[in-house]
Structure 1
Amino acid sequence: MSQITMAGRPGGAVSPAVWVALGLGLIGALGLGLGQSPRIAALFVVGGAFGLVLYHAAFGFTSAWRNFIRDGRGRGLRAQMVMLAIAVALFFPALAAGSLFGQEVSGFVSPVGIPVLVGAFIFGIGMQLGGGCASGTLYTAGGGNARMLITLVFFIVGSLLATIHFDWWMALPSFEPISVVETFGAPLGIVLSFALFAVIAAVTILVEKRRHGGLEQAEPTKRQGLARFARGPWPLVAGAVALALLNFATLALAGRPWGITSAFALWGAKLSQFVGVEPSAWFYWQQPANATALAGNIFADITSVMNFGIILGALLASALAGRFAPNFSIPKRSVLAAVVGGLLLGYGARIAFGCNIGAYFGGIASGSLHGWLWLVAAFAGSTLGVRLRPFFFAGEGPKDA
C-alpha cells in the first residue's frame, strides 16, 4: 500500500498547491512587511490563519442556519454562540478601556434602522442562493470551489452598486448607534450577552430534540494529533474558539474587529476606475475613511490584505487535506443562483453596515445593538432563501459554506 502524506498524495509527494500557497504567503508577508508595515504583514498572516481555520473546521454560517431552518439541526448555531461568547468576554473589557496592549481600539457600532433591516434581510437571501456568506465565499473560493468564484465576482458587483445608492439608504429612518458596553458597562454587558447566547442555544437544543429525539453528533474521523491539525477536519467548537481568538488578535493589531465586505466595495471601485468610471463623486466614497482607501494603495487597506490572506489560508488548508480540485462543470441554474446571490450579498452588506462577520460577529462582539438586529433580519432572509433554493438546486445541490 502506498504511503499517504499529510498533503494527501501518494509516494511522499507534496501537492503543488501546498507550495504555491506557502510561497505566495511568504512573498506576501515579506512584501507587505517591507512595502507597507510589519503590522500589515501580521494582519495578512492572521487572515491566512482565518482561512485555514474556516476551511478545516468547515465553519459555515450559511449551512449552519440552513440546517436549523430546514432540518432543525442546531450544532452549527450552538458553535456560533460559543464563538460569540468568547469574543464578548475578550472584547468588552478592552473596548471599555479604549485600548489593548497600547493600541487604541474601537468596535463596530452602527445605527439601528431600516437600512440594517433591509440590507441584512436581502443578505440572508443571498447567503442561501449564493451558497455562502462573506467568510464562506472567500474560504470556499480559496479552497477551489469554482462556483463560489462566481458568487465572489457578483458579491463585488453588488457591493459597488450599493455605494451608488448609499446616500439614499442613509437618509432613511434610523436610531443613533447603541452600545451595550457604553450603556451597561462591560461586566453587565457580558452577563446580558451570555444570557442571550444561552437562550438561543437552548432553543436549538429543544427544537432538535423535539424533531430528532437527540442531538446530532460530529462525524468520527481517523485522523488524530498533528495529522488532524494539518489536514482537518477540526471540531466545530475548536473552530469557534480559534475564530474568536483570531478576531481578538485583529482587534489588537488593527484597532478594530475583523471585517470583510468593505474591501469588496473597494475592489469594485478600483476596477470601475480602471474601465473609466469614476466613483469618487458618490456619497459613499466621499466619507473620509472610504475616500482615503479609494485614493490609496489596495495593499494598504487592512480588510483587503486580510481577505487575500483568507484566500491563501484556505488554499493551503484544502491542499493539505488533498481536496484542492476545482470543478468548472457547474449547472446553469446553480450559476444563476451564484449571480443573484452574489448581488444580494454585496448590496445587502453595504447598506446594513456589514456582513455576517462585520455586522453579526464583529457587531455583537462590539456590543452594538445593530449586530443583534442584523442577526434577526438576516435569519429571516435566510428562511426565505431556503424556500427558494429548490428552484436552483436539484436535490439541494453541492454542499455549501
Structure 2
Amino acid sequence: MADVSLVFGRSSGGVTARAGLIGAAVIAVAAVALFVGARFGLMLAIGLGFGVALEGLGFGFAGPWRAMILRREPAGILAQLLAIALVACVAIPLLAAHPDELIGAQAPIGWAMVGGAFVFGAAMQVVLGCGSGTLVNAGSGNPVGLLALPFFAIGSFAGAYHLIWWTGLGALPILALRGTVGLMITLLALALTAMLFWRLGKPGSRRVPARYLLAAAALAGLAVANLVVAGQPWGVVYGLGVWAAKGAVALGADLSGSAFWAAPASVERLNASILTDYTSLTDIGLLAGAFGVAAWRRGGLAQPLQSYPARAWVAAVVAGLLLGYSSRLAFGCNVGAFFSGIATGSLHGWVWFVAAFAGAFVGIRIRPLLGLEVRR
C-alpha cells in the first residue's frame, strides 16, 4: 500500500490551514447540495475526489505515455488499463440493464475524430497535460497549465462550434460493445493491450508501484460513481467548452450560426448555471482538489516561473487551443474518449487511443524545440 505521508507530504505544522482546506471543501459540497441539489453536491464531491487522487498520487495520462515512449516504462499505462477494466466490469452491465437512465461515452469513428485524436496526442505532450492533466496542473499552480487552461476552454468552444461541419467529412455509425459479450471482448482487448505494453517495456521497469494501483482503484470507483450519479460517464472537455461559450454569450456573441451551440440542449445548458452541469462540476472539483493537495503540502503551490523562452509561452497558448479544438473533433480527451469510451464499450475509444498515442510521439519530439524541456 502506498505510504500516504509520501504521497501528500510529510511536512509538519499548518494544522489550522489544512483543517481550513477540509472545511472549505465540505462547506462547498454542502452549499451546492443545499442550494442546487443533492445530486449536484455529490458531483462536486466526486470531482474533488478526482483532483485529490490524480494530484495526490502523482497519476495522470500524459506522463505515463511519455515514460513508455521515451524510457519503455509501462507501469503508468498498465495502471490506466487496469482502471478502465475495473470501470468496464460495472459500467457495461449497468448500461445494458438501464438503457433509458444511463448513457455511455459512445461516438462515431470518422476522419475528423481520428485526426483530432492525433493532434490532441501531440499537443498534450507539448504541455504535459491532457484534459484532466491540464486542470490538475493549473490547480496545483503549474504555470504552463495555468496559461494553457483558458485557451483549452476557448479551443473546446470553437471545436464544438465547427463540429457538425467536421463530422460531415465522413463517419461510421456509432459502434459499441454491449452486454456480457461486449464486456468479455473489452476485457480481453484490455488484457492483450496490457500484455503488449508489458512485453515492450524495459525489463526491471514493468512492476506497477502501489500508488499507481491505488490511483487506478480510486479513479475506477469515482468513475463508476460519476456514471451512477450523473447518468453519464466521466468527461472533461464539454464542461470547459461551456465555460467559454458562456463567456462568449456574456460578451454579446451570437451562437445561432453553430448547429452545436444552437441546438436546444446546448441553449438550455448555456442558460443554466454551471452548477447544474455535471461535467462543469467535476472540472471545478478537479481544479479545487489539485489545489487542495498542493496547498496541503505546504509550498506545493509555490512553483516559480521557469526561465522559458518566449516561444515556449506561445507554444503553451497554441497547444492549449489545439487541445480544446482537437478534443471536440475527437469526441473527448484521454478521459472522455479513451478512459470512459473504452470503459463503456465504445469502439471509438480504441481508435482514439491508437491515433492519440501516435500523435504523442510527435509531441514528445517537438517539445524540446519549443523550449519547454527543463534540463535537470
State TM-score, norm by structure 1: 0.86
SS at match of 1:278: coil
How far apart are the structure 2 equivalents of 1:383 and 1:147?
Answer: 20
For residues 248-279 of structure 1, what are the alpha-carbon distances to aligned partners after superposition, in whole Å with 9 as ceiling and x for unaligned? 00111001111111011111111112222222
Aligned residue identity for 1:38: A
Aligned pairs for 1:390-401 within 5 A? 390-393=368-371, 396-397=373-374
How far apart are the structure 2 equivalents of 1:61 and 1:15?
Answer: 33
Cα distance, 1:8 vs structure 2: 4.9
Q: 2:181 aligns with which of 188, 194, 197?
A: 188
Aligned length: 369
Aligned pairs for 1:208-357 within 5 A? 208-209=201-202, 213-216=203-206, 235-322=211-298, 323-331=300-308, 332-357=310-335
How far apart are the structure 1 equivalents of 2:316 and 2:50?
Answer: 23
How far apart are the structure 2 equivalents of 1:385 and 1:218?
Answer: 25
How far apart are the structure 2 equivalents of 1:113 and 1:49?
Answer: 34
How far apart are the structure 1 equivalents of 2:15 and 2:371?
Answer: 35
Cα distance, 1:354 vs structure 2: 1.0
Aligned equivalent of 2:14 = 13
Aligned pairs for 1:2-401 within 5 A? 8-10=10-12, 12-14=13-15, 16=17, 18=18, 21-98=21-98, 104-181=101-178, 186-209=179-202, 213-216=203-206, 235-322=211-298, 323-331=300-308, 332-393=310-371, 396-397=373-374
Cα distance, 1:23 vs structure 2: 4.4
How far apart are the structure 2 equivalents of 1:25 and 1:13?
Answer: 17
Q: Decide whether the 8 Å contact of 1:55 with 1:314 is kept in 2.
A: yes
Aligned residue identity for 1:44: L
Cα distance, 1:97 vs structure 2: 0.4
For residues 194-240 of structure 1, what are the alpha-carbon distances to aligned partners after superposition, in whole Å with 9 as ceiling and x for unaligned? 2211222222222223xxx3325578xxxxxxxxxxxxxx7111101
How far apart are the structure 2 equivalents of 1:193 and 1:9?
Answer: 43
Aligned residue identity for 1:177: I
Cα distance, 1:56 vs structure 2: 1.6
Q: Decide whether the 8 Å contact of 1:89 with 1:190 is kept in 2.
A: yes
Cα distance, 1:336 vs structure 2: 2.3
Q: Return 5+ residue gaps in structure 1 as ranges.
A: 220-233
Q: Could you say what the CA RMSD is over the residues aligned between the two structures, in angstroms?
A: 2.2
Q: Return 5+ residue gaps in structure 2 as ranges.
A: none
SS at match of 1:283: coil
Q: Decide whether the 8 Å contact of 2:227 with 2:234 is kept in 1.
A: yes
Give the direction of change, closer, same or farther, for the CA distance of 1:330–1:216 in structure 2 (3 Å limit): farther
Give the direction of change, closer, same or farther, for the CA distance of 1:13–1:20 in structure 2 (3 Å limit): closer
How far apart are the structure 2 equivalents of 1:398 and 1:98?
Answer: 52
Aligned equivalent of 1:227 = none
Q: Decide whether the 8 Å contact of 2:67 with 2:74 is kept in 1.
A: yes
Cα distance, 1:83 vs structure 2: 0.6
How far apart are the structure 2 equivalents of 1:334 and 1:218?
Answer: 33
How far apart are the structure 1 equivalents of 2:172 and 2:14?
Answer: 58
State, as a whole percentage, how many aligned pairs show the same letter: 36
How far apart are the structure 1 equivalents of 2:212 and 2:125?
Answer: 20
How far apart are the structure 2 equivalents of 1:383 and 1:20?
Answer: 43
Aligned residue identity for 1:120: A
How far apart are the structure 2 equivalents of 1:204 and 1:281?
Answer: 45
SS at match of 1:325: coil
For residues 119-149 of structure 1, what are the alpha-carbon distances to aligned partners after superposition, in whole Å with 9 as ceiling and x for unaligned? 1111111101122001111112111212201
How far apart are the structure 1 equivalents of 2:121 and 2:255?
Answer: 27
For residues 311-350 of structure 1, what are the alpha-carbon distances to aligned partners after superposition, in whole Å with 9 as ceiling and x for unaligned? 1111122222332323234513332231121111100111
SS at match of 1:196: helix
Cα distance, 1:178 vs structure 2: 0.9
Once the two structures are overlaid, the 10-residue window that deviates more, 112-121 or 329-338, is 329-338
